[in-house]
């Protein structure tokens, strides 16, 4: 039997828990009985989910120090989690080298930049999908926007002039890598609120032109609220969300919904999908969820996302209200919003957070569901101030 240093094999938080019972002594840990059901406990599942979140944030550029504050862990624990998560993806590197042959591209340096995205030699980006509809949506919109001169990653066609490659399990699309990176610093974010609004506005103008090129997925936030979101909350979600407040949100949204402008939108607007190089905007990425929906969805989605506990920016309430004002002003420098759209903004924001709460409940991720409800409650308590910020 070999002895191992606990510091090398156990997480710091577990060592600290054990030290409450014994310190400086040997402990024998028996081998787990493999005949026993090894289904992970709820706590283990939560830790696995947390570790994936931490790894994703690290890939986005959040520092270990920032992550330690976000997740209340020591920096050494953060490093250990990142190293362990990275090992899970190492085998993908060799597979990617084989996949590249479908584009007649020789092996090059492979670097993971997101859980499903890999940078190749600083020149290309390979994205892995398990949903062909999302892949086809990204290819279609990226191609249309690229033809219009909008800064997006050009789709690289492979053998037989195909836009993607598939194996027995996944689909792969290769695009040119755009210059720049996403914003992860609160100071930088606050400085470009107005610019972000105008950048979203310019994308919406381009999307309007896209609509003339064919059919796109039609969706409705109101229909989702009255459909699967309500059904999910009925099945246990009322413990998190007050049913009367939910019904009031739906009623107020429904009162004005038919007057809101509908068009093709990005649907996943956050700093991770907007690139900046030397302080200047350099490109849009990821149109997997793009759909026809109310256009203020993108603005509201972006702004409420900045309040998430997992968002590294950690804006204060006052900073968020300034960001709110700047983003809408920037958007209106490109596209004027109607009074109905401004009046609906708080209810769209609340609906988006209820959507997230329901989605996380379905994923059995109660921590994130509770976070979405907290944002819902923050917006609900600031309806008037949000509306006043929009002029």
- Kind of pairing, strands 110-114 and 280-284? unpaired
User: Looking up tokens 């976070």, which residue turns up?
Assistant: 371
Q: What are phi and psi of 382, to 5 degrees?
A: -125, 25
Q: How is residue 25 written in tokens? A: 């002594």
Q: Which residues contact 29 (CB under 8 A, 6 or more apart)?
A: none
CA distance to 146, 252, 281, 320, per residue, from 182 (Å): 20, 35, 10, 19
Contact of 127 with 117, CB cutoff 8 Å: yes
pLDDT of residue 96: 85
Q: Could you tell me the two tokens for 239?
A: 């413990």
Alpha carbon distance 205, 197 (integer Å): 13
Ranges of residues in the chain whose predicted pLDDT is under 50: 1, 34-37
Question: Distance between alpha carbon 317 and the CA centroid of its chain, in Å?
Answer: 21
For residue 126, the model assigns a pLDDT of 95
Handedness of CA 21, 23, 28, 33 (dihedral sign): positive
Residue 69 is predicted with a pLDDT of 79
**What's the pTM value of the predicted model, to 2 decimals?**
0.82
Separation of alpha carbons 198 and 327, rounded Å: 8
365: left (phi over 0), alpha (psi -120 to 50) or beta: beta
Written as one string, the DSSP assignment of 50-74 is HHHHHHHHHHTT--HHHHHHHHT--
For residue 125, the model assigns a pLDDT of: 95
Q: DSSP assignment of 246-312, as one string?
A: HHHHHHHHHHHHTTS-EEEE-S--SGGGEEEETTEEEEE---TT-EEEETHHHHHHHHHHTT-TT-T
CA dist., res. 53 & res. 105, Å (int):
32
User: Pick from 217, 209, 218: which is nearest to 144 by CA?
Assistant: 209
Alpha-carbon separation of residue 117 from 56, 59, 270 (angstroms): 11, 10, 17
Q: Which residues pair with 128 in a beta bridge?
A: 172
- Please give the radius of gyration of the chain, using alpha carbons only, rounded to the nearest integer: 23
């Amino acid at each position: 039997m070999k002895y191992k240093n606990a510091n090398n094999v156990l997480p710091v938080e577990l060592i600290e828990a054990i030290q409450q019972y014994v310190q400086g002594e040997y402990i024998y840990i028996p081998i787990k009985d493999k005949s026993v059901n090894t289904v992970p406990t709820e706590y283990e599942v939560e830790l696995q989910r947390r570790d994936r979140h931490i790894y994703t944030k690290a890939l986005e550029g959040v520092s270990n120090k920032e992550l330690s504050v976000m997740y209340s862990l020591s920096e050494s624990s953060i490093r250990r989690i990142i190293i362990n998560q990275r090992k899970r993806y190492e085998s993908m590197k060799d597979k990617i080298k084989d996949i590249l042959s479908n584009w007649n591209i020789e092996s090059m340096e492979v670097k993971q930049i997101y859980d499903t995205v890999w940078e190749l030699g600083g020149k290309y980006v390979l994205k892995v999908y398990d949903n062909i509809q999302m892949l086809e949506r990204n290819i279609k919109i990226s191609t249309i926007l690229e033809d219009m001169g909008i800064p997006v990653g050009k789709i690289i066609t492979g053998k037989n002039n195909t836009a993607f490659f598939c194996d027995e399990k996944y689909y792969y699309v290769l695009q040119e890598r755009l210059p720049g990176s996403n914003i992860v610093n609160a100071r930088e974010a606050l400085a470009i609120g107005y610019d972000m609004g105008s950048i979203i506005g310019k994308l919406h103008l381009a999307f309007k032109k896209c609509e003339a090129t064919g059919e796109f997925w039609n969706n409705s936030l109101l229909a989702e609220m009255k459909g699967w979101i309500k059904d999910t909350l009925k099945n246990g979600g009322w413990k998190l969300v007050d049913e009367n407040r939910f019904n009031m949100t739906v009623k107020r949204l429904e009162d004005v919904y038919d007057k809101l402008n509908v068009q093709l939108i990005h649907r996943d607007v956050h700093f991770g999908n907007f690139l900046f190089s030397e302080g200047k905007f350099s490109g849009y990425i990821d149109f997997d969820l793009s759909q026809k929906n109310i256009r203020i969805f993108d603005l509201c989605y972006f702004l409420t996302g900045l309040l998430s506990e997992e968002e590294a920016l950690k804006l204060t309430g006052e900073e968020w209200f300034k960001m709110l004002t700047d983003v809408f002003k920037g958007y209106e420098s490109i596209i004027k919003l109607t009074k109905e759209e401004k009046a609906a903004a708080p209810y769209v924001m609340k609906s988006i957070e209820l959507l997230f709460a329901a989605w996380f409940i379905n994923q059995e991720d109660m921590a994130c569901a509770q976070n979405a409800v907290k944002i819902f409650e923050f917006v609900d308590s600031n309806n008037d101030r949000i509306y006043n910020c929009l002029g």
